Structure 1
Amino acid sequence: MARTRVRIPSLLALSAAALLLTSACGNSDPSTVDAARPQDGKPSVVVTTTWEGAFAKAAGAEDIKVIVPQSVHHAPDYDPKPSDLAAVAKADFVLYAPFEPYAAKIKEAAGSKAKLVEVELDNDPTKVSAEVGRLAGLFGTAEAATQWKTGFDTEYAKLNQELRAGWPGGRSPSVVTQVFTAWSAKLAGATTVGTYGPEAVTPAQLAELAAKKPELVLDNAHMSTGTVLPDSGAKQVKIVNYPGEDLDLLSVYRNAAAELKKAMGAS
């Protein structure tokens, strides 16, 4: 995602707490530990945000601890607490995104033997299916992941059909989308005529995008830069990428579909 500011000084302050945790974890070299598949078949998974948590749940994990509270709008700015280190120290897996560089620091500070797994956070259905399948392979939960993907495919197709039925005038709406909400344009079967972000939109880009005469602007609720094309007449729609505390990834698609339906009805 975007280049972000990350504040890690709190990790230095937590070093003392980390020493207590590492003594409880033993002194084995983490690189020699095979954390790919827990003996009881039920991995303990720590995730940085609800987005990774939803991927883990879809893959079949049941014991999931989310570090960054949902109330934190910009996850990379979160300062980990001693309780976060404690959770990591007991985990089999730690899931993080590349734009959350503190994840590796958390694992190191806690002395965890967990397998650190980078997750590609993108709600494009093809990428979701690939990531869920990959995680299930690590967790040893392939059967659960297969069941989830079957339900996901069915729900996605239903939402796509409903949105296509709501196209204004029976034709695919033209949209400009933030780069990390392009998946919602695909969900709606919309025609993407331009993209922007994650950096701030320049005057030249604004002029170029406005010239495309989009009907909708799909904005990333987590990285909003305000009204993108204020004088174009385009309806701006906020798209949320992160699921709620229930870690239900399908709710993200349902919510996006609801917002898109309203916007297409008003356009």
Structure 2
Amino acid sequence: MTDTSAPADADTRRAVAPVICYPNDRLPVPKTEQYQTARATAQQTAHTQVPPRQARCFYVTAGSFFRISCPDGAQVGDLNLFAARNLEERFFSGKTRALHGSHVKQGDRLWSCLPYLRPMATITEDSLAWYGVDEFGGRVHDVIGTRCDPYTHHMLSGQDYHNTCHSNLTRALADELHLSLSEAEAHIHDVLNVFMCTGFTRDSGQYFMKASPARAGDYIEFFAEIDLLGVLSACPGGDCGAEHSSDAAQCHPLDVTVFAPKAGQLDGWYAPSNNRYSRRHAPE
């Protein structure tokens, strides 16, 4: 029988200092000052409003900025990103989390999946930067949640519910690219939970959510490092302060606004290339 009791040196083992897996001071540094200069004269070129409990697609050209905002009040958004001309290259929430932490902030980047592994977008502004970390360990803009989905909802309740973020994203991508729902669903991936306030409970380590601190007018803004296709769902949980998938929660729209800088503002900047690993997957 396995002995599960604590060893004599249990406290010593627990006291071992952690090591950061991926020191992010070695990452390529975004050209923050150039981005700020370019943004100062950028002009709006596109606008998309995402209705409550629905999703919409939008496009952003490399070198442009896009802002996601709450025009009417606190509203969580679930964001998928793709390379505009290659659905196989998509946002990699797990690697973004490993490189930057459980929640992203100004200066952090959203990274694409393997084998591409390059910056897709850089966070340049965040009106909720003031929130920091609350007494429960809650932070905003998480890359730990997976998106609400009808499969988990059915498993927990025994009921079909179609206005989950997973279903919203699937429908929006299918409509935009003229795909079947099953074809589109295969491309939907784990999200950036924009404006969502989340963390892990200290006792059980369970994922928790609490009401988003966002107010009408709050926003997060990104610089597009490559040409992007975005899909954004206005979560049916509203501010996610009570329910994750619901027809009862108060929900608001989300706005996506794209801004293009003036010619010459990004001279010397280049979109990042794909990861340069040889892909041999074997020692020489």
**Shorter-chain TM band:** under 0.3
Relative contact order higher in (CA < 8 Å, ≥ 6 apart)? 2
TM-score by length of 1: 0.25
TM-score by length of 2: 0.24
Structure with the larger helix share: 1
Structure with the larger strand share: 2
